[in-house]
Amino acid sequence: MNKIKFDLNDRTAVITGGAQGFGLDIAKRFLDSGAKVIIWDIDPKLINEVSKEINNPNLSLSIVDISDYKAVETAVINILKNSKIDILINNAGITGPTMPLWEYDIEMWNKIIKINLSGTFNCCRAIVPSMIKNNYGRIVNVASVAGKDGNANASAYSSGKAGAIGLTKSLGKELADKNIAVNAVTPAGAKTRILDQMSKEHVQRMLSKVPRGRFLEVHEFTSLVCWLSSEENTFSTAAVFDISGGRSTY
């Protein structure tokens, strides 16, 4: 399959959770499109694997816990000493266990919200001021159809992703008078390792809701993110782009 090449020359992108799944595929496509890519991930083993897999001088990797604002702030300060940040992909997230809300472990609930929602806030808060200064930026927040429709037995994940959608709409409006676009994408289930965190029953239930009758392919998702991250996206902001195979109708 021939992939469209987007022009990301002279752009620098930060991708959270970029050492696997969606994030890694986005990183590879960005590199192919001429961007400098900085991957943030919390898993040192995965970071080591990626550093061995991809030999590209335009790629750098750092261990950053996005749920820790001070860690994010420090990482941003270090980048801005020698570079700029044009693109932010808030991709890092966890699903957590599947169980009824009234049985949900409180510590796990807090962890999921802290990563999926507060982590997105932390990265935006630390990076947006430099984008304002440069009058340029593209931010893509990876949400989920669960944030629109709600998934039974996944209240924490659904709530965190719904919050990320609300954050996107708010921040997009705050920056609408600048050359900074903030958008969210809401994928349905995809063939990534995140499915391994869920029960087989839950995965099958997710698949049964998709009219196309299959899971999302990672490269399909990456293409949408690339367009939203490029200069070709000159008007869309504070929006939610559905990529659910027909599951969501709004």
Q: Where are the domains of the chain?
A: 12-187+216-243
pLDDT at 197 over 70: no
pLDDT tens for 98-143 read 999 999 999 999 999 999 999 999 999 999 999 999 999 999 999 9
Task: Judge whether residue 198 has pLDDT over 70.
Answer: no
Q: What integer pLDDT is reported at residue 193 of this predicted model?
A: 65
Q: Has this prediction a pTM greater than 0.85?
A: yes
Catalytic residue (one of 69, 104, 136, 157)? 157
- Using one digit for the tens of pLDDT, what is the confidence trace for 15-29? 999 999 999 999 999
Does residue 64 contact residue 41 with C-beta atoms inside 8 Å?
yes
CATH superfamily label, 12-187+216-243: NAD(P)-binding Rossmann-like Domain (3.40.50.720)
Specify the amino acid at residue 165.
Answer: I
pLDDT at 250: 75
Residue 247: its pLDDT value, please?
85
Whether residue 144 has pLDDT greater than 70: yes
pLDDT of 124 reads 99
**Any catalytic annotation for residue 157?**
yes
| Average pLDDT in the chain | 94
Identify whether the C-beta of residue 31 lies closer than 8 Å to the C-beta of residue 6.
no
pLDDT given for residue 2 in this prediction: 60
**Which pLDDT score, from 0 to 100, does residue 130 have?**
98
Say whether pLDDT at 195 is over 80. Answer: no
Check if the beta carbon of residue 128 is closer than 8 Å to that of residue 25. no
Task: Please give the Cα distance from 141 to 118 (Å, whole number).
Answer: 12
User: Going edge to edge, which strands form the sheet with 180-187?
Assistant: 59-63, 36-41, 12-16, 87-90, 137-142, 180-187, 239-243
Q: What is the pLDDT of residue 27?
A: 98
Q: pLDDT above 70 covers what percent of the chain? A: 96
pLDDT at 69 over 90: yes
Q: What is the pLDDT of residue 200?
A: 79
- pLDDT of 33 higher than 70: yes
Helix or strand (DSSP H, E) at 204: helix 200-208
